[in-house]
Amino acid sequence: AQSVTQPDIHITVSEGASLELRCNYSYGATPYLFWYVQSPGQGLQLLLKYFSGDTLVQGIKGFEAEFKRSQSSFNLRKPSVHWSDAAEYFCAVGLNTGFQKLVFGTGTRLLVSP
Amino acid sequence: NAGVTQTPKFRVLKTGQSMTLLCAQDMNHEYMYWYRQDPGMGLRLIHYSVGEGTTAKGEVPDGYNVSRLKKQNFLLGLESAAPSQTSVYFCASTRLEGQPQHFGDGTRLSIL
């Protein structure tokens, strides 16, 4: 069965430090890949997406992600974290099933220390 | 543009009561989805719709029913609420296969 793994439940990063959130997926073909961010009490906001082409994708708020087919990974990065980045981040895989089925990881909560 | 709007935002029910959650989107999207979010489990798909008048079961459909009588609305019903249905419910929509889903702000439902 398809699955998405986010191995880090919590991550604490100092403000101004770099960030990398890990995401690995299990799927036979190349899926659509997404990163969403959820602030407390809010819905999910799309940060970036990968469909095809350049494996390094840029998103909003200074985030980027790199698709590595050989590792089945789609890690999210940011060079300098801001306190406002504290939130929960979800990686999701979109599957070609005749409708757009999204399989979500369990999320990584980012804490930003001063 | 309102995007995806969910009502209500909060609700407390007693076991056995029924209620309907409403999702409305103003983006003319074909596909609509209902998810539930529970701690440590990410989002799980309850039901989805690929167009007006169609619905289908997702990953965790038991105890829920849905209807999509109008393209812009997707209703999620709980006929007899159970404490296990305490969760945050999210509605989402998208236009095309492969395009990102747009999410509402969620409905926090507690069942006592």
* Blockwise average pLDDT, block size 10, chain A, 114 residues: 90 96 88 92 91 91 94 96 96 79 91 94
Q: Which two tokens stand for residue B16?
A: 């056995």
- Between B70 and A41, name the one with better pLDDT: B70
Calculate the average pLDDT of chain A: 91
Whether pLDDT at B1 is above 80: no
**In contact, B23 and B76? CB cutoff 8 Å:** yes
Q: Which two tokens stand for residue A72?
A: 């089945």
Min Cα separation A44/chain B (Å):
6
Contacts of B59 (CB under 8 A, 6+ apart): B44, B45, B46
Q: What three-state secondary structure class fits A91?
A: strand
Contact A100 B98 (CB under 8 A): yes
Q: Which two tokens stand for residue A31?
A: 């899926």
Residue B8: asked if its preceding bond is cis (omega within 30°), the reply is yes
pLDDT tens readout for residues B82-109: 999 999 999 999 987 668 889 999 999 9
State pLDDT tens for residues B18-32.
999 999 999 999 999
By the CB < 8 Å criterion, does A59 face chain B? no
In chain A, helix, strand, coil percent, each to 5? 10, 55, 35
Q: Which residue has the tokens 């926090």?
A: B108
Cα separation, B68 vs B33, whole angstroms: 11
Answer for the pair A63, A36: CB distance below 8 angstroms, yes or no.
no
The answer for B 17-56 residues in CB contact with A (under 8 A) is: 31, 33, 40-45, 48, 50, 56
pLDDT tens figures, A79-91: 999 999 999 999 9
SS3 A31: coil
pLDDT at A61 (0 to 100): 93
CB contact under 8 A, B43 and A94: no
Residue A27 structure tokens: 């799927």
Measured between its terminal Cα atoms, the distance across chain A in Å is 41
